[in-house]
Amino acid sequence: MRIGEVADKAGVSVRALRYYEEQDLLPADRSPGGQRHYPDSAVDRVRLIQLLYAAGLPSRVVRQVLPCVDSGRAAPTLLGQLEEERARIDGRITDLLAVRDRLDDVIALTIDPDPDRCVY
């Protein structure tokens, strides 16, 4: 399958596919003229890569996860990394919820201002 076909079927740009190849995430064979050719499985692989990126994983971690998906086995160190990333995201969520709560307080104050606390 040629690069444009994979891009269309996977819903990504050709540029994204080139990037995935540069990052050693998506191998491609080359024709004698230098055109990329992908197996039919490339579409599913690209969708998986997109899912991993959407989960907030950087390319280096995606590169580690893909062989585990292929083999059905994950190294304990990789699982530890993924759990640490999840904990980091949980911390960010907690911080963002606290910020949102403070913003709700500010919004409430502007809707029903306390004349002793607001300066007009």
| Average pLDDT value for residue range 37-62 | 93
HSE of 34, CA atoms in CB hemisphere, 13 A? 0
Q: How far apart are CA 49 and CA 10, in angstroms?
A: 11
Tokens describing residue 98: 């606290």
CA angle 40, 15, 43 (to 5 degrees): 20
Res. 120: pLDDT tops 70? no
When pLDDT is cut at 50, 70 and 90, the band that residue 117 belongs to is low
pLDDT tens track for 76-116 = 888 888 898 899 999 999 999 999 999 999 998 888 776 66
Residue 48 pLDDT: 96
Residue 119 pLDDT: 56
